[in-house]
Amino acid sequence: MAHYHNIICTTCYAERVPPARARLGYRSCMTCGDKNAKAVKHTIAPMHKSNYMLFTNMEDLKGINNKGGLIK
C-alpha cells in the first residue's frame, strides 16, 4: 500500500501540497502554482509553410501574417 505524505510547498513554505497534486509531480501549492503560471507570458504561433514558433515578446507577432493586412 502506497503511503503519501503531505509535502510542504517549495515556494512559500506555508501551505501543504495536496496528495493528489503531489502524485502528479507538483511541488508547489495551488496559490503559488497559479502565480507562477500567470507570470509566464508566451504564445505559440504557426509560421507559413514552416514549423511552430514560440514567442515571448508580443511585439514580434505584429506583421507575421503580412497577407492579412496590417504590417508593422
Same domain, 26 and 58: no
Same domain, 48 and 29: no
Which range among 14-28, 34-48, 57-71 shows the weakest confidence by mean pLDDT? Answer: 57-71
Same domain, 22 and 52: no
Same domain, 31 and 46: no
Q: Which domain holds residue 47?
A: 41-72
Same domain, 35 and 22: yes
Cα dihedral 69, 42, 58, 61 sign: negative
At 58, which amino acid appears? M
For residues 41 and 9, which has the higher predicted lDDT (pLDDT)? Answer: 9
DSSP for 42-54, written as a single string: -EEEEPTTS-EEE
Question: pLDDT digits over 34-50, tens only?
Answer: 998 888 788 888 887 77
pLDDT of 8 over the 80 cut? yes
